Amino acid sequence: MENIVRGKVWKREKVDTADIISTKVWLENLNNLDPDILGKHAMTPIDSEFASKAMKGDFSIIISGKNFGGGGKSFEHGVIALKAVGIGLVIAESFARYNFRNSINNGLPVLECKGIFNAVEAGDEIEADLSTGVVKNLTSGAVLQAPPLPEFVLGIMKAGSYTAYIRNQLRQAGNGEAHCPEETR
């Protein structure tokens, strides 16, 4: 059941890229994606206790509203920071494009789930099955359906990153080219 993610919730309706990691920290670490450094600054612009609480295990799932990670550029610092403090899943009404792609490419599962924001409170316990898209609020009993993550995306999560996943595929193929299994195409 490795595709099941379970954890407590941190919730905020509007979260921009500059909230996940401040522009100042990003600029100071332009070419440095050190998780230890970036993790300390996760969400500090909107929640100064986020990193310490997440690392203590108070929560590991982020619930948000529309356009999570908006206003961003293609930089990946925010995703690295969230992973570093133990965030294992982000569920939002919708995602900004760079943030959505960066999350999956860096092995952080994301589910786009209509109605999630009002169905969950901070501190609730959530169980999400990435392979079916079923999101259960264990605290309230509410059940929601998100588009599931297909096999190849689960493969990326398992490998830890898109490039690591493709590297494995290439190695299995013997060299130059890789193709995803037919059923996932």
| Residue 164 identity (one-letter amino acid) | A
- How far apart are alpha carbons 18 and 108 in whole angstroms? 18
117 near other proteins, judged by CB under 8 A: no
Point out which residues pair with 16 in neighbouring strands: 70
Length of the chain: 185
Choices 5-13, 16-24, 30-38, 159-167 (CB under 8 A): range interacting with other proteins: 159-167
User: Could you give the string, one character per residue 74-113, with x where binding to other proteins holds by CB under 8 A and - elsewhere?
Assistant: x-------------------xxxx--xxx-xx------x-
Near other proteins by CB under 8 A: residue from 55, 134, 159, 170 = 170
Task: Find how far residue 24's CA is from the centre of its chain.
Answer: 22
185 near other proteins, judged by CB under 8 A: yes
Going by C-alpha positions, the residue among 120, 126, 124 that lies closest to residue 5 is 126
- Provide the minimum distance between the beta carbon of 147 and other proteins in the complex, in angstroms, as a whole number: 4
Whole-angstrom CA distances from 185 to 52, 113, 151, 158, 179 are 41, 23, 10, 18, 9
- How far apart are alpha carbons 4 and 132 in whole angstroms? 9
Whichever of 25 and 149 has its CB closer to other proteins, that residue is 149
Using CB under 8 A, list all residues that contact other proteins: 66-67, 70, 74, 94-97, 100-102, 104-105, 112, 147, 149-150, 152-153, 156, 162-164, 166-167, 169-171, 175-180, 182, 184-185
